[in-house]
Structure 1
Amino acid sequence: MYEGPVQDLIDELGKLPGIGPKSAQRIAFHLLSVEPPDLDRLTGALQRVRDGVQFCVECGTVSENERCRICLDPRRDQTVICVVEEPKDVQAIERTREFRGRYHVLGGALDPLSGIGPEQLRIRELLTRIGAESDGVRITEVIIATDPNTEGEATATYLVRMLRDFPGLAVTRLASGLPMGGDLEFADELTLGRALSGRRAM
C-alpha cells in the first residue's frame, strides 16, 4: 500500500478492464515519471471524453455530434443494418471494408446472471428503426453480429424471435468457423461444427 494520491491512482487504474494490480502500479509509476505537458495532454483527453463524447441518437455508437458520421453518410446502404454489442465492434467491422450498410449498437448482450435483460439493451430502438420507413426507405436485412459466446448467442436467438414477425425482413447471422492460418487439429468441436454446417460451394 502506498500513501494518499498514489494509492488512489493505482486503485482507479485497477478498475479498468484488463488491468490487474501489477499493471495498475506500473502505469501509476510511469505517470509519475512523465513530463507535466504529457500528463496535461492525458488529463485533457480524459476531460474531452467526459464532456464531448456522446452516443449517436440513431445507431448508438460513440459520436462527437448528435448523429455519427456513418449515419450521416448518404453513400451507406440504408436498407441493411448490422447489429453489434458495443461501439468497438463497429470499428472491427469497418476495418474489413466489406460492409456498406448502417449499424445498431445494443450496448451489451443479454446476461440474466448480471441483471442485463432486454430492457437494459437498445432492442426497443432497433424494433422502432425497422418498423419505421425513413424517406421512403425500408430496412430489408438485419445482420446479427453479436459475439460468438453464450451471451452473444442468447442475444442473437432473442433478436431472431423478435424480428421474425416483420414481413419481408431477412435476418442473417455472421458466419463463424476456422480462422485463416489455423490448423484443424487445434480447432475446438463447436468451432469445427459451425464451420462444417456453414460450408459453401466453391
Structure 2
Amino acid sequence: MYYPEPISKLIDSFTKLPGIGPKTAVRLAFFVLEMEEDDVLDFAKSLVNAKRELTHCSTCGHITDQDPCSICQDESRDQTLICVVQDPKDVIAMEKMREFGGKYHVLHGAISPMDGIGPEDINVESLINRLKDEGIEELILATNPNIEGEATAMYISRLVKPSGIRMTRIAHGLPVGGDLEYADEVTLSKALEGRREL
C-alpha cells in the first residue's frame, strides 16, 4: 500500500519496536498525525532525551541519569547483599515491591549459545570484580526461570562457589492465585522443588 514518504518512515520506525506489528504501526502513525503539534514535539523530545541523558551505572549496570546510580549511592541499603538480574526492568520490578534492601547487579542479558551469547557478552566480569572488592556475603540469583536464565545462574554459581559467598536462587513455581490444572510440568516441578515448611 502506498503512503507518503514521511508517514511511511514513521510506520517503519514503529515496526522496529518490540511487539509492534505492521497493523499496529500504521495505527500508531496515524494517531501521531492526529496529535497536537506540541504533543508530538514533547514526545519526540522525550525519546531523544531518554537516549542522550541515560547511561548505565558503572557499578551495577542499571540505567541512570547519574553515575553511580541512586541505589548504589544509598548508604542505608544492605552493602553485603547483591541481587543479580538480567535487565534494568527487573531492578524496577524488584524496587516496586519495596521488600529488597540490598544492591543490584544487571547482566544485560543471559547466556544463550543458540543466539551466540556467551558469558563474555554479558556483565559477568564486573560482578566478579565487585565480589572481590565489596565485602559481599550473599548473592541472590534472580535471572529469569527459562533455559537461558537457568544456564546463566548455573554459570555464575560455578564461578562464585569457590569464594565461599552464600548464593541463593529466587523461588519459582505457581503464581499466587494460579490453578494447578493450568500449570505446565516445569512450573509444577519447580513449585514442588521450592516447597517449604508451614
Alignment TM-score > 0.5, same fold: yes
State, as a whole percentage, how many aligned pairs show the same letter: 50
User: What is the CA distance between 1:116 and its match in structure 2?
Assistant: 1.1
For the residues of structure 1 that align with 2:61 and 2:193, how far apart are their CA atoms? Answer: 33
1:9-68 CA-partner distances (Å, limit 9, x unpaired): 111110111111111111111001100010011011011112111110100010001111
User: What is the CA distance between 1:127 and its match in structure 2?
Assistant: 0.1
Structure 1 length normalisation: TM-score? Answer: 0.95
For the residues of structure 2 that align with 1:117 and 1:3, how far apart are their CA atoms? Answer: 43
Unpaired runs of 5+ in structure 1?
A: none
For the residues of structure 2 that align with 1:73 and 1:177, how far apart are their CA atoms? Answer: 32
User: What is the CA distance between 1:70 and its match in structure 2?
Assistant: 0.6
Q: What's the Cα RMSD here? A: 0.9
Residue pairs, 1:6-85, within 5 angstroms? 6-85=7-86
The equivalent residue for 2:162 is 165
User: What is the CA distance between 1:76 and its match in structure 2?
Assistant: 0.5
The equivalent residue for 1:193 is 189
The equivalent residue for 2:119 is 118
1:120-154 CA-partner distances (Å, limit 9, x unpaired): 10100000000113xxxx10000000011111111
Letter in 2 for 1:144: L
**More off after superposition, 67-76 vs 1-10:** 1-10
User: What is the CA distance between 1:200 and its match in structure 2?
Assistant: 0.6
Letter in 1 for 2:31: H
The equivalent residue for 1:96 is 97
For the residues of structure 2 that align with 1:97 and 1:110, how far apart are their CA atoms? Answer: 29
For the residues of structure 1 that align with 2:118 and 2:191, how far apart are their CA atoms? Answer: 30
> Displaced runs of 4+ in structure 1, greater than 6 A?
none
Count, aligned residues: 197
User: What is the CA distance between 1:3 and its match in structure 2?
Assistant: 2.4
